[in-house]
Amino acid sequence: MTAAPDTELIRKALRKVVDPEVGANIVDLGLIYRIEIDAPQLLIEMTMTSPACPMGEMIIDDAYSELDRILPEDWQPEIRLVWEPPWTPAMMSEKCRLSLGWEPEPTP
């Protein structure tokens, strides 16, 4: 890839990364908190469903692999694992909540 990616392309790539314990991709799970592009730097802040997630390292490695597929060679991606705010099921996309059998969020 030679053109600079935008946030939608980054999200599309990260949707290929699945949390194997949950069976859903990390974008729809709501694990991606921030994508900041300042070419050739890319910063992604993400979390896990739990600080004790045994698959965290594998998920981050998979995310780097997907980013390597779409980023220009000279780009430097950085993935930061953050814990604030803590992840909750409310952060999932509606489609993801429904596919996992979670009740839809009540409307006020």
pLDDT digits (tens, 9 = 90+) for 30-46: 999 999 999 999 999 99
pLDDT value of position 44: 98
Q: How confident is the model at residue 1 (pLDDT cuts 50, 70, 90)?
A: very low
What DSSP designation does 76 have? E
Residues of the chain with pLDDT > 70: what percent? 93
SS3 78: strand
Chain-centre distance of CA 38, in angstroms? 18
Residues 6+ apart with CB under 8 A from 56: 48, 81
Q: What is the pTM of this model?
A: 0.89
